[in-house]
Chains A and B, each alone.
Chain A
Amino acid sequence: MTAQSPILTVSNASKEFDVSAPWLNRVLERKPKLFVKAVDDVSFTVPRGSCFSIVGESGCGKSTVARLVTGLYATTAGDIRFSAGSGGEPVRVQMIFQDPHSSLNPRWRVGDIIAEPIREMKLRASEAETRERVEELLSTVGLAADDARNYPHEFSGGQRQRISIARALASEPELLVCDEPTSALDVSVQAQILNLMRRLQQELGLTYLFISHDLSVVRHMSDTIAVMYLGRIVEMGPAESLFNAPQHPYSRLLLGTIPDIHAPHRDRALQSGEPPSPLDPPLGCAFHPRCALANERCGRDLPELLSVGAATVRCHAVEEGRAQETSVSEAV
């Protein structure tokens, strides 16, 4: 059950990266400065104790949102606000990354990796208590107390992701930002980690901002889902309604093309083009070059976010009531 008070509120957040060639090259080749708008006017709220997920294809800005929320990047515009934490002090935020290999210091023993935030933040009074806490964390994520003595390379990918989770939990966070936490893992191990994350959420009352390109994983984890395309949220709503009745043509394309072991759509010719370059996004609705419902207005005006039932959708066809006429399979 999710309390309604948001733990995180993101309002009109944008992030621009300067990807220009070095100054001298620009002068010599007479090239202008070049910017990528990785995140463009993104707003959402995450209720305490829930799981809010962001999906979309690579480069659409998911990781950039995660890094804005965790403060690894500063916003170019807009703002990101946390409510007060449960004890009145600021909400603690931690991040879990895709590749547990590169996010763990290879020269440190696992026990020290997990103990670092505890020592840093002086969360335990003595070294003995710290060690006790590390053992407790290891057992929480399904590892043995003995594992504290070993180095990260001695563990499998799934075990390393458990270590990352233990370290993230060490600072007693309320919000965990997880960027593709299981994408580097095999399915049988992925199931172990997803089950662990769900259990921790219930036991510790954690809130997740969850990022993945795998829609079946997202379906399993989320209460609310935002679909991003080229830096913008194009549809956002409760997981159930997004999966059962996607509104935006891009959400439909995504749902229509994910491989489904139970209902393969083999032999269907898919002519849906490719995502455009973020350096040169199309005018109007960024999806219009690939959209079967695009009309002249779509190539000119950016659609506004519009409430449709429980969801919000950014699409002219939905607004004009044209979206329902075409079935999903015809649209892609």
Chain B
Amino acid sequence: MMMQAVSPPDPTPDAAALGAEAVLEVSNLTVEFPTRRGVLTAIDNVSMQIAPGEILGVVGESGAGKSITGLAVLGLLEAPGRIAGGEIHVAGRRIDMLSEDELTKVRGREMGAIFQDPLTALNPLFTIGVQLVETIRLHSGLSKEAARDRALTLLREVGIPAPRERLSQYPHQFSGGMRQRVVIALALAAEPALIIADEPTTALDVSIQAQITALLRRLCKDHRTGVMLVTHDMGVIAETADRVAVMYSGRMVETGRVKDVIHDAQHPYTKGLMAAIPSLHERVETLTQIDGAMPRLNARPEGCAFNPRCPMAGPRCRRENPVLAPAGRNQAACFLHDGGTE
């Protein structure tokens, strides 16, 4: 990794300014699923970067391709899914070409994962202590005692009361929120450069959700870990992320700083999405709605995938596929910001 320059005054550097220090750099990623009826392009030419200590929110409707993006980075795509194009660099190293063995090593050392259901990440047969100590020793070479101390520190850091007693307990003895804290501790155990968190709070109650997002945010800032936070919940993004990437039908349609995307969305889909969220502050007669639904992968229309639902669509939108271009303070894939829709 490059030497860290004097830290910039703004904690959320622009994507362009990240350069070589990015913990994650994805360029032109394409993921395909070959099926009997033809090849489905689940991810179509997606690029993103994450800086140390930065949280990038990836948001979109069910089926937009959020999880597949995260799984592709982790090298955990299930067959027949495959990376059909593009490059993935983690902590400066290209990983999409690695063998399964090499990838497993990188995954353990440089990447942590947090999923919606904490039970999938924890082995029900072993105590929390055993699992933490194993993970720490595997990647650090610490002695058993030192690893145990580190496990205690981690549990304390993620807010588990009475960590010493908790080390000898099994996953089922923890509540949902506490389990997710343990999973975060596990994800941090190897001091990875990048954490992929896929809907980490979706299964939790609101009051617990707020605790977990606050924790995730604090820890990633403290440890300078980059986080890809995958969620369908714009509220969680607003609370947690620095920048956000909006996905629609396997493509990235808009990206920018969280507050710019929320308050000054540039892509018609993002605008509609923001307006469709009921407000906590005022009651309106009718919510803004986007008619129709996101197309299935096998029925993605020609041109801009949003064109059948877009009130601004013109003939060019049905012909050509727009790519990300500067739009306001954000980047948007829409001809309204790139030469017009005619």
Q: Which of A's residues lie within 8 Å of B, judged by CB? A: 57-58, 156-159, 186-192, 194-195, 198, 213, 215-217, 219-220, 239, 243, 253-254, 257-262, 264-272, 274-275
Contacts and interface: CB of A to CB of B under 8 A. Distances in A.
B293 A189 contact: yes
B278 A216 contact: yes
Contacts of A254: 206-207
13 contacts: A156-B293, A158-B293, A186-B61, A187-B277, A191-B277, A191-B278, A213-B205, A219-B283, A259-B233, A260-B235, A261-B235, A262-B238, A262-B281
B238 A260 contact: yes
Contacts of A191: 276-278, 287-290
Interface in B270-309: 272-274, 276-281, 283-291, 293-294
Contacts of A271: 211
Contacts of B281: 262
B279 A274 contact: no
Contacts of A189: 61, 293
B262 interface: yes
Contacts of B280: 215-216, 219, 243, 258, 260, 262
Contacts of B213: 259
Contacts of A259: 206, 209-210, 213, 233, 235-236, 238-239
B89 interface: no
Nearest to B64: A186
A258 B235 contact: yes
Given A188-B276, A272-B211, 16 more contacts: A187-B277, A188-B290, A213-B205, A213-B206, A216-B277, A219-B279, A239-B283, A259-B235, A260-B235, A261-B235, A261-B238, A264-B238, A266-B238, A267-B218, A270-B211, A274-B175
Interface string B213-235: 11001100000000000001111
A53 to B, nearest CB: 13
B205 A58 contact: yes
Nearest to A257: B210
A207 B219 CA distance: 47
Nearest to A222: B283
A162 B149 CA distance: 55
B85 interface: no
B60 to A, nearest CB: 9
Interface of B: 61-62, 175, 177-178, 205-211, 213-214, 217-218, 232-240, 262, 272-274, 276-281, 283-291, 293-294
Contacts of B272: 188
Given A260-B238, A262-B279, A264-B238, A274 B290 contact: no
A188 B61 contact: yes
Contacts of A156: 293
A268 B213 CA distance: 10
Given A188-B290, A259-B238, A216 B207 contact: no
B296 to A, nearest CB: 9
Given A259-B238, A261-B238, A187 B279 contact: no
B69 to A, nearest CB: 17
A2 to B, nearest CB: 15
Contacts of A194: 278, 287
A272 B293 CA distance: 39
Closest 6 pairs (CB-CB, A-B): A259-B235, A191-B276, A257-B210, A220-B278, A57-B205, A186-B61
A186 B232 contact: yes
A274 B178 contact: yes
Given A188-B272, A260-B238, A57 B217 contact: no
A270 B214 contact: yes
A10 B279 CA distance: 30
Contact of B239 (A159, A216, A264): A264
B289 A192 contact: yes
A227 B186 CA distance: 36
Given A191-B289, A219-B280, A220-B283, A270 B273 contact: no
A192 B218 contact: no
Contact of B273 (A157, A187, A195, A262): A187
Nearest to B281: A262
